[in-house]
Amino acid sequence: MKSINKDKCLWTAKVGEKGQIVIPKEARDMFNIHTGDSLILFGDINRGIAIAKYDDYADAVQQIFNVSDGQK
């Protein structure tokens, strides 16, 4: 892990043969990620991929899908 400043860090991970990555232990500890947790991946073709715990965004995701289905 490399600290950018007190609030930002940088880790690396390799993609395995099955397309899986391992989140480094330091990152899992910092963000309270445990075995069995669901994660959400946000993708932007120009900016890349961001990963977050699904539970932190579940309400927002549900609202997005409700709006896209024409429901409110």
Q: In this predicted structure, what is the pLDDT of residue 35?
A: 94
**What is the three-class DSSP state of 38?**
coil
Helix (H) or strand (E) holding 63, with range, is helix 54-68
Q: In this predicted structure, what is the pLDDT of residue 32?
A: 93
Residues 20-59 have pLDDT tens digits of: 999 999 999 999 999 999 999 989 999 999 999 988 888 8
Contacts of 61 (CB under 8 A, 6+ apart): 40, 54
What is the C-alpha separation between 20 and 13, in angstroms, rounded?
Answer: 10
- Nearest residue to 55 (alpha-carbon basis) of 31, 39, 34, 72: 39
